Copies of this chain bind each other. A is one copy, B any other.
Amino acid sequence: MSNPANVKAALRSLEIETPSWAYGNSGTRFKVFAQAGVPRTPQEKIADAAQVHRFTGSAPSVALHIPWDRVDDFTELAKHAHDQGVRLGAINSNVFQDDDYKLGSVTNPDPRVRRKAVRHLLDCVDIMDATGSRDLKLWFSDGINYPGQDDLRDRQDRLAEALREVYDRLGPHQRMLLEYKLFEPAFYATDVPDWGTSYAHCVELGPRATVCIDTGHHAPGTNIEFIVAFLLRAGRLGAFDFNSRFYADDDLMAGAADPFQLFRIMYEIVRADALSSGIAFMLDQCHNIEAKVPAVIRSVLNVQEATAKALLVDRDALRAAQLEGDVLGANAVLMDAYNTDVRPLLAELRTEDGLDPDPVGAYRRSGYGERVVAERVGGQQAGWNA
């Protein structure tokens, strides 16, 4: 793969989906700091996402979050996206912000609430039909805060029942992505805390149920690339929610906290020849204090750079060293790729593709940021509650 032409071809096939909510305001429980120029509508979020694609050439789709991005006419919204040069991607459900969900959604002890939650999920599939989205992403905030608060096993039964109903509703070209998360907002136990739980439910459901790995949702010390390799082998890796974390689900820019980890993850993808095999490479980030569009651009670049390095690994030499038991030699082959500065290669690729070699600089020079600050006055800025 060290052949530069092959590396470039592979990089051209890499598509990163950006999330509509990354363009809106976000924050911590302590404070949401509003930023000037933030979108007020799904259409404006899509416009921002289109800028990311315009300058990177690698972010052709936008994930939606329902109800934050609910519109009357999703077909219209899909057309709007198309006009902007992007397309609508995964539909993300939200069963955590209604007062009814205080003690859970699909695993709530109250059957009325469970029904309401499932109905929302089915609604999301209706929306997928309208938008042409392939993926339904399910993240459940469901869990409990105190030992004894609810029955851990009953909640699995309720979860399985809800997932079954939703899975059976999917069309033949639609998939379910089941995300897991160790904690937050539930603090003692979450109902899908780890990849094993997600995987077991997916296997029970059927082939179109796959696991979504959010890189910020693990216990300290978890080896994420192992999970990637394992799920690829089992044919159950559906998607990534890329972001960075130092401690918990910090939702920082992908590649910002541990670029070596991101490289190792992308290496497992490359090693399985899975760069363009249907895995959804999505970002799921919160730009609480930094400018949002350039932060998304930077994140896309970080994923690209990690992928480029992964593509540069001399796989023949690596395999030879591994099979010889040459610990230092095998590690050195991997590190040689990681230590390479791939920015010139990527700049070249962009130039060949008619893009500015410096996407962040080009975005800044475009004046888009200043323009939206001037234009987006009044109205209600988008955020997690809008």
Contact = CB atoms under 8 A, between A and B. Distances in A.
B193 A196 contact: no
A382 to B, nearest CB: 15
A34 B221 contact: no
Interface in A1-60: 26-31, 33-34
Nearest to A331: B146
A71 interface: no
A197 B268 CA distance: 17
A120 to B, nearest CB: 15
Interface in A212-228: 218-223, 225-226
Nearest to A97: B31
Q: What's the interface size class on A, roughly?
A: 35 or more
This chain: copies in complex: 4
Given A145-B290, A298-B328, A332-B360, 18 more contacts: A30-B141, A145-B288, A146-B253, A146-B330, A147-B256, A148-B331, A148-B333, A149-B322, A150-B330, A152-B268, A153-B229, A187-B246, A188-B252, A189-B226, A196-B199, A221-B247, A258-B258, A339-B341
Contacts of A362: none
A200 B30 contact: no
A68 interface: no
A353 to B, nearest CB: 21
A25 B97 CA distance: 15
B343 A339 contact: yes
A319 interface: yes
Contacts of A218: 219
A102 B245 CA distance: 19
A348 interface: no
Contacts of A34: 99
Contact of A247 (B96, B187, B328): B187
